[in-house]
Amino acid sequence: MSTPGAYFRLVRIGWVLAREDAFSAVPAEHLPPLARFVQRLAGLLARRRARLEVRSGRLARAVERLGPSYVKIGQFLATRPDVVGAELAADLSLLQDRMATFPESEARAAIEGSLGRSVDALFAEFAEPMAAASIAQVHPAVILRDGKRERVAVKVIRPGVRQRFAADIEAMYLVSRMQERFLPYTRRLRPVEVTKTLEQTTKVEMDLRLEAAALSELGENTKEDSGFRVPKVDWERTGRDVVTMEWIDGVKMSDIEGLRAAGHDLNTLAETLIQSFLRHTLRDGFFHADMHQGNLFVDEAGHIVAVDMGIVGRLGKKERRFLAEILFGFITRDYQRVADVHFEAGYVPSHHDASSFAQAIRAIGEPIHGQPAETISMAKLLTLLFEVTELFDMQTRPELVMLQKTMVVVEGVARTLNPRFNMWKASEPVVGKWIRDNLGPKRIVTDLRDGLHAALRVAEAVPEIAARTERFSAEIMAMTENGLRFDPETAEAIGRAEARHTRSGRLALWVIAATLLFIAWQLA
């Protein structure tokens, strides 16, 4: 249920977007007539300077004006080209974590409130912030460990960001419900479910203990891997609002000249990056989902160090097999197998024809085989694949879209290191090994073992299932004899809810009307 405040925030969002001429960035060809009229009307409200600016990036600039929580929403939507479209996703990808810092005194208060100890007792030195993002900012600090000074990075949550996001997400729910109601063809994309995913993802990201846990998990997964690592977490100085981790001395991957000057082999770094990402995805089913150049460093030993693990992705065994068989099918030009995998996994509804789907897959794969290996993009292949699946009613799979977005970013970083980098040659050792271990004879043994474990769990649950079935049967019999009844408290609660809904709807209409009158008065 949307409150009047959600309607007011929605009007404010529309006003800011219109003033920044952000609506012009939305492709008009697929919009219904009413939406195209609103788009043209919004263009009349745009500032003259906004009209003269480059079209790409207008939406990102407007979102930055709306504030930190909207920047986080925009960054999330940039990972969902299936929902907002490729052009808008590319525009939103320009959003950077370059927010204004908040005072050190507020950071100290957040740390002390989270850890229950004074900053001076926790750190030998605590400096001014060096970088600020939409959710948190980072302070350099020094701790004493066994009598030795040790540099650390301290990430502190932005004060009040949880409350602001909770209010802003309500407006997002309002938009998604309106989208499902007035744009029926977008229901396949499940906008309300996408908003729920955004809410859950951001809540997780706002609990810095969970980011610390993600760093710890990826650290354990990669402890035997060469060339890749993550910072170690200082759990003594980590809480809900603060995470303290190892300080990384290294060169950012965005600094190509700095990497060359430090003597690093750019081709080796690109190969290590791709292989590490695929290893995390296929072997572990757990990957860093925000591996852009700003979050990647190269230390003195030549190891890639990934930081800022607020966003992570997970893939189950079925999804990992799906990914590996798709890649392997395209490599071997077995398009029927790629199509069959989609149907076996349940991603494409069974009423569609597998041969027709294989024909669509062939239309993607054949042009790729005519190109040099170093120009073939796995990320582009997956993007085209997801576009084709729209024709076959394939519903949005958030985990696969997150994977595709991350692959696009990782592949882009590798290409900046070496524009002629051969993605397929670098990927073969990891993908090939996983296919041999999981799609060959070993797969049968693994499936049998997993099936046995599942059968044992079912056997253990049989007594409880029987007891619940008996209780449910007794309740059904009682309902058939006595009918379905509400107790007085339930009936009263339903009445109160209906009354609130009616009052909120009327109040919302008055808020919208007053806002429109204010805007008209401002323009007069």
Tell me the three-class secondary structure of 346-389, residue by residue: CCCCCCCCHHHHHHHHHHHHHHHHCCCHHHCCHHHHHHHHHHHH
**Structure tokens belonging to residue 80:** 């969902």
Catalogue the active-site residues: 290
φ, ψ dihedrals at 208, nearest 5°: -70, -15
Nearest Cα neighbor of 234 from 122, 120, 110 is 122
Distance (Å) of CA 442 to CA 51, 164, 431, 448? 60, 50, 15, 10
Residues 115 and 94: their CA atoms lie apart, in Å, by 35
CA atoms within 13 A on the CB side of 3: 7
Q: What is the DSSP string of 233-260?
A: B-GGG-BTTEEEEE---SEETT-HHHHH
Two tokens, residue 50: 């906004």
| Other CB atoms within 10 A of residue 164 CB | 16
Q: What sign for the dihedral angle of Cα 191, 197, 199, 202?
A: negative
Contact 259, 267 (CB under 8 A): no
b/e map of 406-430 (b: 16 or more CB within 10 Å)?
bbbbbbebbbebbeebbbeebbeeb
Q: What is the dihedral of CA 312, 318, 319, 320, to 10 degrees?
A: 80
Angle at alpha carbon of residue 240, lines to 235 and 242, rounded to 5°: 65
Left, alpha or beta for 303 (phi > 0: left; psi -120 to 50: alpha)?
beta
d(CA 405, CA 83): 13
- Those residues with Cβ within 8 angstroms of residue 482's Cβ, 6 or more apart along the chain or in another chain: none
Return the percent helix, strand and coil in the chain, to nearest 5.
65, 10, 25
